[in-house]
Structure 1
Amino acid sequence: MTNKNRRKKNSIPPLKTYWWIISYLRPYRWQVFLFIVCSLIAVGVEMSIPKGVQYLIDHIIPNEQTSQLVNILAIFSIFLVIMFLAMMLRNSLQRIIQEKAAQDLQTSLFTHLRKLGFAYYERKPIGKTLSLFSSEVIAVQQIYSRYFPAIIINSIVLIITAAFMISINWKLCLLIIPFFLSYYLIGPYFEKKAAVYAKETQQSRNQLNKKIYDSVSGLLELKANNRENWDLALTEEKLSLFHKDFMKQLVMNYARGLVRRVTIYFGAVAIFAYSAVLIQNNQLTIGEFVALTFYYFLVIRYMTVIVTNISEQTILMNQAEQLFTFVHEKPEIEESKSPVILEKVCGNMEFRDIHFGYPSMPNILKGFNLTIHAGEKIAIVGKSGNGKSTLLKLIGRFYDPQQGTVFLEGVPLSKLSLSQIRDSIGFVFQDTYLFNKSIKENVKFGNPDATDEEIVEACKQANAHKFISELQDGYETVVGNRGIRLSGGQKQRMAIARMILKDPKIIVLDEATSSLDNLSEKEVKSAFDTLLEGKTIIAVAHRLSTIENYDRIIMMEDGKNVEIESYQELMKHSSPFAQKAGVLIE
């Protein structure tokens, strides 16, 4: 992607993002107000120092008024104490506000993340999503802590300081106006360029992070296929782009600083030269000269802070816009505002004229129809790519069909609450996800209110208790990231134990025993036959041995279904049918 194209990507009005960020400060508006008051007190004391120095030089020291000198120094000391107290309170408020607002922001991000459908996760790299909760949130924290109050307060200080300077000698103020204008006219050009390069650096850094994440995640595949050098070349390409952008940003930052210093120094030289003339002509006192010089550098300081803050905030706003875009990402699954609440879920389901396809892909389901009665055991078979697993995702309303309706107890899923739908269904997926917690906590995920005895019993029924007991820490064993310390079969048995503990009315199995050996599979299957009696079971299977006791077998072909009455009928035509259905006879 060229630099020009990268710059065009941002189409969100900055003010819109700005007001959205401010909205998280509203619950803490009184703390923000107190923060601004404390800042003004601290700055007010600082601004009074040059006037005090002027008074000392012009009136106290020449007249040797020692008693007044002591009084003025005492007043200065009191003001300094007030200033330090105000600064301490301001800094404490700053930390409280930024942490609380950032926490609220992260909570809202995570809440929205849960609302987004699976289509979002499939098209967005996980590294980019994780970045939202780290670097982008930190960017907003910096806006809260450094820029919102600073720009307002520094602008006020700038105006007041300028007024003090004019009151001392308006001729000197006219002299230095061209230098201020030069700073504002030339400086922003460099600031804008620096902001553009900073944005490009951020984008190339994100691309590099994504590439590193992919390389680490796919390390086994890279080594197995001897593609490490190929991957290294791609990584070096991303790294080279990042360093190129970073160096451009570095050079522009240097040029920006140079322009500032030259402007400041020439302005100071002009003040000193003209002040010497005014002092010789008795048009300016030494005290006024010292005060003006102080105020000049104060103006430069605050002006620099304002321009820098605006520039740096622009960079941070680029990151904040990514958060804004994320929270305004429309969920693919919209929950009904007034959902129907089913008094009882028995397990009756219906698929009526279902058409579904993934984005940019042809429809995988084309007019699928199926009625399932409560307590039925339905097996779904078919070759890979015919939509078996997709159909299971429609049951949990992880996706909505483009056409047609899925019913639960005669009510369209779109009119029910997602919580009731998913509380009524127990899923066991082929690829089991385990959290980096203990075995007990992972199983308890199925029912957070379960007792230790119920957890152990569920694991026994899932044929998992034996291997758990043989582990050194038993049920307290931490399974590692995604359950990496357990075998595929062990993870699947834990997923089954989870589902047993949940005790739902409808059970959805997506190759739930595919990672088990034959003996374990028979033991789990035997437990299923007893435990799941009276429940509605919908299972995707590739082995006929797992669906022997099912009531109906549905073969999916070309996005539609062909019903086979029973396992016995299927076995009459086992060889040709098995080949067509993509199942394994054992």
Structure 2
Amino acid sequence: MKYVRQLARFLHPYRTMLFWGSILLILASATNLAIPLFVKQLVDVVMVKKDVELLNDMAWIIALLFLSQMLFSTAHNYLYDITEKRVTTDFRKRIFRHIHKLSMSFFVKRRTGEIMSRMTNDISTIEGVITDLPATVLQQSIRLFGGIIIIIYMNWKLTFMILVLAPILVLFARYYGKRLRALSTEIQDKLSNSTTILEENLSGMAVVKSFVKQKLEIDRFEAAVEDSFESAKKRVKISAFFGPSIGFIAFITALVLLWYGGHQVIAGNISPGELIAFILYATIIAGPMGSFARLYTRIQEALGASQRIFDILNTEGEVKDIPGAQPMPAIVGKVEVKNLHFHYRPDQEVLKGLNFTAEPGEMVALVGPSGAGKTTLINLLHRFYDPVEGEICVDGIPIHTVQLSSYLQQVALVPQETLLFGGTIEENIRYAKPEASEEEIVEAAKSANADAFIRACPDGYRTIVGEKGIRLSAGQRQRIAIARAILKNPHMLILDEATSALDNESEKLIQEALERLMKGKTSFVIAHRLSTIHNADRIIVLEHGQVVEMGRHQELMDKEGLYHYLYTLKSYQLEHEPEALDEADL
């Protein structure tokens, strides 16, 4: 019932349409109940009275009832169906909005294909019952109870035979509904697994081909699909048996009615018209019983899907504004890291009590071996995560106490793995500032040394970059990302190997652009390039999640500690073993 109530909230804004749809549904159902009464009279006119004129009148009345029922049903179907599509659209939008409120940890813990499956397969399962539930309950309740009242009035003995059907159908529905609900959840889980494998292959096709692992991936996907098929086969077996079983019970009941009713007609206790009308009412009553049984199984399947959907909707973002959070004032740039602790898993601490201060306008280089905590520190500075203990203060203000959006609007991130959206180059640069003029976009591109190659593209700034920028080289993608950061004109910069994908000539030009951009702004750079380290105002050396050294380049070289070792090692490799150089070592 918890999930039913949550789904019902999405129907509330459209209660007016549902109200009029329900009125039309009531009229259609009432008309349907009236038809057998007139059919009874028509049969008696033909078989007993043999009155042709009255036969014609009754035929016209029945035809008018059929027409009215059609019109009422058409209008009701339109109102209910359009509401269903509207609610489903709102549902998708709500989930998409909610996903953007979730913290990065949510996406780290879940695979992309699993989330996509929940937004596609599960919502499609739910869609079929959003308005079917209230419509079926209302329509079939009117037919069931209205029909029972009429046939009790007509012949209570025949009514008793029909009502024997009810408990059998309830038991069937209850038993098979539970099994179908469990299977529905199982099938959706297995579908999400195959969707995940598909998404991974489409995103990483170059890696698959490079390692000649097409057969391995095909086998993985086929195994996942076959696993899903096995669960679907179980559901098909149940559904295949359930429907005909209901039909069999209904046919047996109808046969008994005909047999018993036939005896009553022969004995002269009831008229032929009454028997025909009674059978029609029995059909009308059996319909709701079967519909309720089928609806019950569909609800069980939908509840299995809704459980997975509301698992997302009921998840709260870990990084969010605290009550009463104020906007972040214009950043000057003093950054203080105080006793910073962080872990992704409680048994594996990544940062262990970091302490340092960066003055306004300083360029801070973060160096250290792989796994030292550089990227984690960058994520905390960008507030993708909040620390487990300690705090980060900007201009003396703890960043977790201010509105997140107001802080991020003043911070620019150029990540190591550049992400471009599938639109044009212009749209990707303009992403930082939607109201930017063409002149501003071109100027940002020039500053990032991107204007020349953009103009060489077939459609210039309106060239489509393709999914994740696949039509551009890695260096071109990185320069567009830098142009995007330049256009944002932030007060604080976070650069995660911002020039790692550039050749030497482009790097020199980009370094000049970044130096102009960083002037007067506090900048944090995960530095692999020696030139970046030389220019840094402060170098923070991390090892095992702790600050082991801090200072300028020459100061740290004179200490001959970890920084001296890493720098000397890299310098040697650059000169003698460039092919053995691991960029992640510094």
TM-score by length of 2: 0.93
One-letter amino acid of the structure 1 residue matched with residue 136 of structure 2: A
Which residue, out of 151, 171, 191, partners 1:165?
151
Residues 118-517 of structure 1: matches in 2 within 5 Å? Answer: 118-359=104-345, 362-517=348-503
Determine the C-alpha separation between the residues in 1 that align with 2:403 and 2:264. 81
CA distance in 2, matches of 1:175, 1:141: 37
Deviates more, 1:555-564 or 1:500-509: 555-564
Is the Cα contact below 8 Å between 1:541 and 1:583 reproduced in 2? Answer: no
- 1:279-306 residue CA offsets vs partner (Å, 9 max, x unmatched): 1222111010000111111112221111
Kindly state the Cα deviation for residue 243 of structure 1 after the two structures are TM-superposed: 2.5
Kept in 1, the 8 Å contact 2:343–2:351? The answer is yes
* Paired letter, 2:502: L
| Contact 2:331–2:491 (Cα < 8 Å) also in 1 | yes
CA distance in structure 2 between the aligned counterparts of 1:424 and 1:198, rounded to whole angstroms: 46
**8 A contact 2:113–2:198 mirrored in 1:** no
SS across alignment from 1:350: strand
Contact 2:35–2:65 (CA<8 Å) still a contact in 1? no
The question of 1:557 aligning with 2:543 is answered yes
Task: Report if the CA contact (8 A) 1:98-1:141 is conserved.
Answer: yes
AA partner of residue 531 (structure 2) = S
Distance 1:342 1:233, change over 3 A: closer
Per-residue CA deviations over 1:123-144 (Å, capped at 9, x if unaligned) read 1010111122222222222122
Offset of residue 20 of structure 1: 0.1
The offset of 1:181, in angstroms, is 3.0
Q: Residues 116 and 195 of structure 2 are in contact (CA less than 8 Å); yes or no, is this contact kept in structure 1?
A: no
Q: Cα offset for 1:60?
A: 7.2
Per-residue deviation at 1:503?
0.2
1:383 and 1:45, CA in 2 relative to 1: closer, same or farther beyond 3 A? same
Distance change >3 Å, CA 241–CA 54, structure 1 → 2: same
Measured against aligned partners, the alpha-carbon deviations of 1:395-431 in whole angstroms (never above 9, x if no partner) come to 1211011000111221111110011110010111111
Render the CA deviation track for 1:550-581: whole Å, top value 9, x for unaligned. 21111112212244432333455689734346
1:404 alignment partner, SS class:
strand
**Residues 233-260 of structure 1: CA distance to partner in whole angstroms, max 9, x if unpaired?**
4334323322222222222222212322
Once superposed, what is the RMSD of the aligned Cα atoms?
Answer: 2.2
Matches within 5 A, 1:91-110: 91-110=77-96
Q: Which runs of 5+ in 2 are unaligned?
A: 575-586
CA shift for structure 1 position 40: 1.2
Cα deviation, residue 542, structure 1: 1.2
User: What residue is the counterpart of 1:55 in the other structure?
Assistant: 41
State the alpha-carbon separation in 2 of the partners of residues 219 and 37 from structure 1: 55
**SS of aligned partner of 2:278:** helix
Residue 335 of structure 1: SS of its match in structure 2? coil
Specify the alignment match of 1:5 in structure 2: none
1:433-477 Cα offsets, whole Å, 9 max, x none, are 000000000000111111011100100000001111111111111
SS in 1 for 2:261: helix
Counterpart among 518, 540, 544 of residue 526 in structure 2: 540
Structure 1 80/322 Cα, relative in aligned 2: closer, same or farther at 3 Å? same
Tell me the CA shift for residue 332 of structure 1.
1.3
Change (3 A) 1:300 1:569: same
Question: For 2:73 and 2:288, how far apart are their aligned partners in 1?
Answer: 17
- Residue 159 of structure 1 aligns with an amino acid whose one-letter code is F
> How far 1:69 sits from its partner (Å)?
4.2
Amino acid at match of 1:415: T
Cα shift readout 1:197-236 (whole Å, capped 9, x = no counterpart): 3443333333233233334434333333344444444334
Between 1:568-577 and 1:239-248, the stretch displaced more is 568-577
Tell me if 1:21 matches 2:15: no
CA distance in 2, matches of 1:72, 1:463: 86
2:511 to 508, 525, 545: 525
- Are residues 535 and 122 of structure 1, via their aligned partners in 2, closer, same or farther at CA, if it must alter by over 3 Å? same
